[in-house]
Structure 1
Amino acid sequence: MGFKYLNAELVHDVLSTNNLHRKEDEEVSTERGRVIAWLRDQFEESVTTQKRPPLSICTSVKTILKDDATVFEQFKESTRIHLFKEGSYILDSITTSSAGIDDLFQWLDKTRNDLTIMMTTFVLSYEQQDSVVRLSRSMFQTILNEPVNRKKLFLVYQQQLTSESSLFDPERLQYYNKLLQMAGYQEEVDDLMVQVTRSIIQARVEMEYTGHWQAPALPSLLDWVEHQVYRRLCLIQCTPNLTLECLESMSKNELALVRTKECFDIVNSYPGSTSALEEIRICLKTTQQREKLIYTFISACDKRLLHSGANTVDVVSFYISTIRSFLIIDHRAVLLDKVCRPIRRYLKEREDTIQKIVFAMLDETEDNSLIDLANELRKGGEQNLSVDDFANDLNWVPDPIDALPDFRKGVVSDIIESLISLFDSKDIFMGEFVNVFADKLLKLTDYDTSDIMLKLELLKLKFGDSEFSSLDVMLKDFADSKATDSAIHKETDVDPQFHSSILSHLYWPALDKETFSLPSYATAEADKYAEAFTLSRKGRKLKMVPSLGTVSIDVEFADRTETYIVTPDKVAVLDLFQSPKGLQLEDVCGSLNMSDSLARRNIVYWLKAGVLQETPSGVFRVVENQEDTQRRAGASMADNHLIDDTPDDSSVNAMESYLPFILGMLTNLGATPIPKMHSFLQMLVPKDNPYTATQSQLEAYLSTLVDEDKLELVNGGSYKLKK
């Protein structure tokens, strides 16, 4: 084999007289000439095999190199320059895509062989051979470390490890590994193989398991790693650092990264994502992974959930899912405590949080979006431990080392207790329970309190008997009312359809007591009932509250009769429309001594029920014929100005998202007119939940807030906060 990359001129330059730094004698010059002549013969194109140099040549070379060490250093420098030139040529070819990675390895192999022949030819000492090997390795590594070569190496190994079985060529990669190791590139090869393997596993995880949470992913992933990736790595005699255990750890880490990115959606999909949550628990091993999960989850909550446009029920539902999900990930509840804090702060600031929670706990219907709370309450259980109870608990264990200073697992992991603890005192929750039960009791028409008593017993199991003493009195009121009502109807001629609930007002919450005049026939029955009560209960009197109660009425039209179950105020309004002439809103308010907002709501109710219709002049009349009712239902409701200006339940709920901005504005600006408030809201409300209400809708909503004693209407049509 000839020296294809080394040449005679290179050797001649080193051994020429001009390159020596001392005066040469005739004998040395003769030996140098003999060596150069022999080398020229070896570099001829016709020479295809390398012959071992004659003894005389070996002796001459040994003499030359031994006599002057400078000759060897110059030879080594010339070799370095030549290798760099040839390597640069190969690198340029690869960069311009005229050569592939195979050309690079062929050059490495050929150059290594030539250097071996050169060292044999010159009979170099061990130290000199080691010096040449280190020089060549340094040059090889310089070439191999070029980004274009590292990228092509990466792609070759990646394609081979992921290719079809028929295309997998382990011998080729073994050949590459051997050359790279000989080139002193072992550490870089190890690092390259780790990068390639990680990229293969990462691609597999993202492609196969992203968004799939219903079934376990880890078993199939680890099976693929063992029988596909690890087996091929063994076949190519790869780095021993990539053990099966290492690959499994790498796989779990990549799965943890993907699941961390999806953590918000995984929690939102609970319980359908239980398998994914279990695998997160298995894959999370380091503090850094846990911190990453916490940061990612909180960031997603801030962006996608905790904003002014979010529905409180949705936030509470997500909070419940968060509790259950993170208890699967970390049974110690340390992670749960950390990720829940922003959600807890948000819920504490929402005005309707308490109301939504209480209603949900007491509502067992399928329509309840927070049915989990009702189910949790039905489970019952012991009352939660107080701080003193924790101090005396014989089973007490210290908090986890990574827990926050104010961590309490029981408070975080118990769903109901966690919601109750949002606020500094649970008294406000107890007060809301009383309000809800009061509303339910007042809507009863048969004095049957069994369902309410059952729920009360469940609450007592959870919070204790002493918290609901007023409710016991309220239930007793209804038991007494049933007995009293039965006695009155037996002893008097009061209308059999007229019943009452007699309340001990000192124990009941403040009730809605809007005043208005009832129809004369209703007032007469109420007076008879009150008189009979006074006769049976000496020294006690009844005070009628007309805004409370339920009435079943039959409304006779020209072509039909309809039955409605409504509140007394709606009956009072409809009773005025006996005359075909119709009435205006002002007429209703004046006749019944009713507030403008209440009269509006009642008229809108009958408009939507198809009982009344509005004329262009603002007069309301009864729709006597059903055909007219259907025609009105099919027509646009845009002509009904009262409907446009009066908020129904859905529009009020929509406007409630703007309430924090309204309250903040009035706090800073004081009394503000409607046009100015309307303009400010258009600027202040974020674009993710834009302010879309009309000025008339805003005015109607502000009137509702006045009725709720949250705002006050002052002179000039401005609104301010109620003191």
Structure 2
Amino acid sequence: MSQHYPEDLKLLVADICAIGSQLHPGTEDDLESLLTWLNPNETNSNHQLRPPALRLKNTIKVFANQPFNSSFSNDGNFEGINGLEKELLILLRQYYIFQVRLNFFFRFDNITTFKDIQRLETYYEFPLKHVFLFQRNAEEWIVERNDLRHYLLNKNNKFKVQLRQRLRTLIMDDDFDLACDVILFLNEAQGALYSRDILLDLMLIKISHFCEKHMENIYGHHFLVMETFNSFILKYWSYFARLLGCPEDDHGLTTIIYNCFEKQFIKIRIKEVFDVFINEYPESKPTILEMKKVLHHTDDFKQLVMQFLSAFEAKILNPSVTTVDALLAYVKSIKSFLLLDPTGKYLNSVVLFVKAYFQERHELVVILLYAILDLQSEEIFQHINLPIDMKRLKILAEELRDPDFNIESKHRAGGHFEKGTESFFNESSSGKAGSDTQLLYQGVLEKFLTWTPEPTDSIPRPFNQSHRNLLDVLTNMFESKEFFVSEFLKLLRKKLLTLKYYKLNRNWSKCLKLMKEKLKNEGSRMPNHESNANEESANSNNMAVMLRDTKNSEDLCKRMHQITDLDPRIFPKFISFLYWDRKLDYKNDTTIDFKLTEVLSHELEKYRNVYKELQPGRTLQLCKDQGVVELELSTRDGYTQKYDVTLEQATAIQLFDGGESNERIFLSLGEVSIQMEIGEERAQRVLQFWIGKSVLYKNHQDLYGSCEGREQEVRAQHQSPHKTSSYSQDSLLSHEQDEQDTKEFSNKIWPFIEGMLRNLGSLKVEKIHALLKVTLPKDLGYDMITHNDLESYLSMFVDDEKLAVLSNKSYKLIN
């Protein structure tokens, strides 16, 4: 045995040896072997987790287990043994506990994991399976073991941290059997870690992970919180109830757990609020309605609004997002917030935040009106020179016609009924309010019978709130609602001036009715604001006058067409210029006035004279920059094409009409300018329009002529052997110069096309053409390039293996 033990231990060993010699003389060596085998500090000579040898078994039987071969009373008192044997057992127990303590504190700093203490306890308890030191007093050893555990938990911080982490790992991995061992260890130790507190914390973490797995990115379930809670209870509650030592039907605790699921649901949805409100809407309506049910505290609402605004600013309110997409996202967010909070309290925060950003987009009001009117692409591009994704605009128009949030809806933002209107949300499955199947008072009565008071800490629900709909919220983006109405009047004015046959289509009629109703309602709501009332009254009057002029023009046109001398192909509009924002004197405006052809001028003069007869005392002024001319151009081979053009464009193309002789006419830019009495720059724009339509072309002599027969002319120039040498040389030089100019221009536009395709992917020629018009500097002269010209340049890039043509006729970069 080691000689470095404390004096108390030496005395204890001496007493054991003395009593052993008295009881069994001559067995000192055997007793010393027993003490060494028991001693956990004799790592080379002790039991080493192996059963004792035969001789050692006999020694154990003689010195330790001998009393247990005798009879014991039920109360644990020894019978039939003398006092020395009893004293020897007591001394052996003290010796073993002393040695265990020495070994424990010697290893104390090295105990860092739960497995370490498990191995050590196994090491201490192994010899007790063979030596019955605590057979009749097991509580003494249990108390000693638990005291060591208690000390370990209180003093070894590293072990305590590792034990907490070990329990967390077991719980997260669903290893509840091993977790029970850790909990039992903690309960018996009664140290600085309380198992119930740790278990509740870990159960919350487990719930958090469980909710993330079963709630994230799932938006179509109506009762997701309850479904997830039930799944958790069925799968884990029996284990947690056993670990906590509580009955499984503890309804108080399960109610608290359900509240935890609601909080986790709120936390997850706040994190996903941008996807819920925009990307996944309207499929996310069920989850928004569930959010409405579980969101009760203003702090949660504020956190949700802040998270949404942060994401909305980063992902939507930046220049890379088109106005159509930004407006579509905003419309979805309005619907989502009104569905979540019908009072509109928190939506107002969103409106105020985005208002400044949207006001920087000058085309916003026009695009919104296009979506409300659901215009076709040809109508849109007449009024705006921006590339617009018609598919996205169509989706926006459909969103504005959502039956739950229709721009024409008249019900209150809070979801309450207004007399003669529908509920803001379709909460009733039996029909609309006011229908035959469910009368209005029945819905009110049902709400009264099912009413429950709101919690004191819930969001205040204002009662005195104005009636608002989706259009009201959208118009708040602008400086004033009058600005929105005035922009609509501008569009309406353009539409009526270019209207054929005096009939507005259904979309325009519905929007017109909506604006009339809006002007009427806004005027009745703000009687004290004189300036607003005057502006609304002016807008209303202008709208009424324009519609009346259109209707009167139709009636007057019918009367005029009954006169045989007038051309029935002309449908004039007689407007009151003060209400149509038109100038009275056009002759002094060089940007508008031009000379008509004699034929057209003569026909219009006839209409002027008839009008004087039908409307005595009134005179007419022709608005040459307005109206639309429907042209049908025919070629010699019988091919016809229809165009809707301006009066100026129609006048220009008629200059190239060869009449009955079908003679091809070539005019220079100056000649066109003189005949139309306009500037050359303006004449060039008009001619360029017809070049873009492939009706006219410009030859090498800078003359403009009809494209009809151009292919035969070019072929004849290349094949005829009778061309003069001077003409051939001029043509060759011109051809070489054209090639050089083409190559230089293609090199200038290539970086723009390359960057465009790299950022946006494959594009069709129409999209490329529209984007180049917007992005290229004006000094490059791209406004003179037609759709067909761009196709030629793109073909050159394909030949140079810079681009590839896909099956859908779009172009992509070759990496």
Letter in 1 for 2:337: F
Change (3 A) 1:133 1:380: closer
1:11/1:36 contact within 8 Å kept: no
Change (3 A) 1:80 1:348: farther
1:501 Cα deviation from its structure 2 partner: 0.5
Q: For residues 34 and 547 of structure 1, what CA distance do their matches in structure 2 show?
A: 130
Q: For residues 699 and 163 of structure 2, what CA distance do their matches in structure 1 show?
A: 85
- Written as runs of structure 1 = structure 2, the 5 A alignment for 1:390-405 is none
1:171/1:236 contact within 8 Å kept: no
1:544 Cα deviation from its structure 2 partner: 0.4
**Aligned position for 1:435:** 490
Q: For residues 20 and 773 of structure 2, what CA distance do their matches in structure 1 show?
A: 93
**Aligned position for 2:270:** 260
Q: For residues 592 and 773 of structure 2, what CA distance do their matches in structure 1 show?
A: 31
Letter in 2 for 1:423: F
C-alpha offsets along residues 55-111 of structure 1, whole Å, 9 cap, x if unaligned? 569889999xxxxxxxx9xx99997663243344454xx6xxxxxx55643434665
SS of structure 2 residue aligned to 1:231? helix
Q: Does 1:245 align with 2:255?
A: yes
Q: Does 1:422 align with 2:477?
A: yes
| Among 569, 573, 576, the residue aligned to 1:504 | 576
Letter in 2 for 1:258: I
| Among 369, 382, 385, the residue aligned to 2:396 | 369
Letter in 2 for 1:370: A
SS of structure 2 residue aligned to 1:565? strand
- TM-score between the two structures when normalised by the length of structure 1: 0.68
1:176 Cα deviation from its structure 2 partner: 3.1
Change (3 A) 1:270 1:133: closer
Letter in 2 for 1:537: Q
| Among 687, 708, 715, the residue aligned to 1:624 | 708
1:199 Cα deviation from its structure 2 partner: 4.5
Q: For residues 105 and 582 of structure 2, what CA distance do their matches in structure 1 show?
A: 94
**Aligned position for 1:535:** 613
Change (3 A) 1:454 1:306: closer
Percentage of pairs with the same residue = 19
Q: Does 1:356 align with 2:367?
A: yes
**Aligned position for 1:184:** 190
Letter in 2 for 1:316: L
Change (3 A) 1:172 1:356: closer
Q: For residues 363 and 775 of structure 2, what CA distance do their matches in structure 1 show?
A: 21
**Aligned position for 1:290:** 301
Letter in 2 for 1:553: L
| Among 202, 221, 224, the residue aligned to 2:228 | 221
Q: For residues 697 and 203 of structure 2, what CA distance do their matches in structure 1 show?
A: 75
- Written as runs of structure 1 = structure 2, the 5 A alignment for 1:303-702 is 303-363=314-374, 367=394, 369-373=396-400, 379=408, 381=410, 414-448=469-503, 451=506, 455-464=511-520, 466=537, 467-491=539-563, 493-510=565-582, 514-559=592-637, 560-578=639-657, 580=664, 582-583=666-667, 587-594=671-678, 599=683, 601-615=685-699, 619-625=703-709, 693-696=775-778
Q: Quick check: which has more Rg, 1 or 2?
A: 2
1:417 Cα deviation from its structure 2 partner: 1.0
Q: For residues 460 and 533 of structure 1, what CA distance do their matches in structure 2 show?
A: 31
Change (3 A) 1:185 1:245: farther
Q: CA RMSD in A?
A: 5.2
SS of structure 2 residue aligned to 1:555? strand
1:436 Cα deviation from its structure 2 partner: 1.9
**Which of 196-205 and 307-316 deviates more?**
196-205
**Aligned position for 1:274:** 285
1:477/1:504 contact within 8 Å kept: yes
SS of structure 1 residue aligned to 2:319? coil
Change (3 A) 1:9 1:571: farther
Q: Give the number of equivalent residue pairs.
A: 600
**Aligned position for 1:105:** 118
Change (3 A) 1:589 1:626: closer
Letter in 1 for 2:570: F
Q: For residues 449 and 344 of structure 1, what CA distance do their matches in structure 2 show?
A: 33
2:153/2:192 contact within 8 Å kept: no
Change (3 A) 1:15 1:80: closer
C-alpha offsets along residues 579-634 of structure 1, whole Å, 9 cap, x if unaligned? 746445555445434466754554444333322234466554322159889x9xxx
C-alpha offsets along residues 459-496 of structure 1, whole Å, 9 cap, x if unaligned? 23233074512111111112222232233333462211
Q: For residues 461 and 369 of structure 1, what CA distance do their matches in structure 2 show?
A: 22
Q: For residues 381 and 508 of structure 1, what CA distance do their matches in structure 2 show?
A: 31
Change (3 A) 1:530 1:368: farther
Q: For residues 688 and 98 of structure 2, what CA distance do their matches in structure 1 show?
A: 100
Gaps of 5+ in 1: 1-6, 18-27, 64-71, 95-100, 162-169, 386-396, 655-688, 702-723
Letter in 2 for 1:622: S
Q: Does 1:137 align with 2:126?
A: no
SS of structure 2 residue aligned to 1:563? strand
Change (3 A) 1:483 1:333: closer
1:317/1:369 contact within 8 Å kept: yes
Change (3 A) 1:370 1:125: closer
SS of structure 1 residue aligned to 2:547? helix
Q: For residues 637 and 380 of structure 1, what CA distance do their matches in structure 2 show?
A: 61
Q: For residues 624 and 235 of structure 2, what CA distance do their matches in structure 1 show?
A: 79
C-alpha offsets along residues 631-674 of structure 1, whole Å, 9 cap, x if unaligned? 9xxxx999899x99xx9xxx9xx9xxxxxxxxxxxxxxxxxxxx
Change (3 A) 1:454 1:223: closer
SS of structure 1 residue aligned to 2:648? helix
SS of structure 1 residue aligned to 2:317? coil
Q: Does 1:212 align with 2:218?
A: yes
1:515/1:546 contact within 8 Å kept: yes
SS of structure 2 residue aligned to 1:369? helix
Q: For residues 20 and 667 of structure 2, what CA distance do their matches in structure 1 show?
A: 127
- Written as runs of structure 1 = structure 2, the 5 A alignment for 1:54-203 is 82-89=103-110, 91=112, 102=115, 104-108=117-121, 134=147, 136-140=149-153, 142=156, 145=159, 147-161=161-175, 171-184=177-190, 187-194=193-200, 196-203=202-209
Q: For residues 633 and 84 of structure 2, what CA distance do their matches in structure 1 show?
A: 133
1:312/1:353 contact within 8 Å kept: yes
1:614/1:640 contact within 8 Å kept: no
Letter in 2 for 1:82: N
Q: For residues 634 and 192 of structure 2, what CA distance do their matches in structure 1 show?
A: 97
**Aligned position for 1:68:** none
**Which of 418-427 and 495-504 deviates more?**
418-427
Letter in 2 for 1:508: W
